[in-house]
């Protein structure tokens, strides 16, 4: 399946209350030339995902449910770095569901909103709590944050 997704920084916590919350942990098994294989925990469910980048906002995206014991072994023993941890808030705005990722641990302080679009030319109305678009800044990809956490970026030193 092809996923078309744009990513933005969140500039306030004024998104609608009552959003669905998902506690997530994810690590990477492979990351090479725009192709990633990750293992992810979403609350009590576990997934193996393969993503292959097509362009800045599009990628092939496949996700499969896997047994909890297998996922925990991968996250705790096979992934080469500390898994990303975050709380995902799902918020509806103008008929689309925004995924607001509030990062923890080494990425604490970073809040990013992602929106999956029906097509690349979709005209998007941004909510008031959305700021700069970072879709083309590869540092904000989860696989990049896994390798190079937000807290280690020179501009965030001491934050």
Alpha helices of 27-130 — where are they, by DSSP H? 68-73
pTM of the shown model: 0.93
**Dihedral pair phi/psi, residue 132, rounded to 5°:** -65, 140
Residue with tokens 């990750």: 38
Distance, in Å, from the CA atom of 125 to the CA atom of 44, rounded to the nearest integer, reads 33
Name the active-site residue from 28, 46, 140, 146.
28
- Domain of residue 42, CATH code: 2.40.320.10
Number of domains, the chain: 1
Please give the structure tokens belonging to residue 30. 């492979």
| Full residue range of the structural domain in which residue 122 is found | 2-156
Concerning whether 28 is annotated as a catalytic residue, the answer is: yes
pLDDT tens digits, residue range 40-90? 999 999 999 999 999 999 999 999 999 999 999 999 999 989 999 999 999
Helix (H, G, I), strand (E, B) or coil at 76: helix
> For residue 158, what pLDDT band results from cuts at 50, 70 and 90?
low
pLDDT tens digits, residue range 11-40? 988 888 777 899 999 999 999 999 999 999
> For residue 159, what pLDDT band results from cuts at 50, 70 and 90?
low
């Amino acid at each position: 399946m092809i996923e078309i997704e744009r990513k933005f920084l969140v500039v306030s916590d004024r998104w609608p209350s009552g959003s669905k919350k998902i506690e997530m942990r994810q690590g990477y098994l492979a990351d090479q030339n725009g192709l990633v294989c990750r293992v992810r925990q979403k609350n009590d469910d576990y997934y193996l995902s393969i993503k292959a980048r097509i362009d800045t906002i599009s990628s092939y995206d496949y996700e499969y449910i896997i047994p909890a014991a297998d996922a925990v072994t991968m996250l705790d023993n096979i992934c080469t770095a500390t898994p990303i941890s975050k709380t995902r808030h799902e918020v509806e705005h103008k008929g689309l569901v925004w995924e607001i990722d509030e990062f923890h641990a080494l990425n604490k302080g970073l809040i990013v909103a992602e929106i999956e679009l029906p097509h690349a030319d979709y005209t998007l109305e941004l909510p008031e709590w959305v700021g700069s678009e970072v879709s083309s800044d590869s540092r904000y990809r989860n696989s990049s944050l896994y390798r190079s956490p937000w807290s280690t970026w020179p501009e965030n030193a001491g934050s």
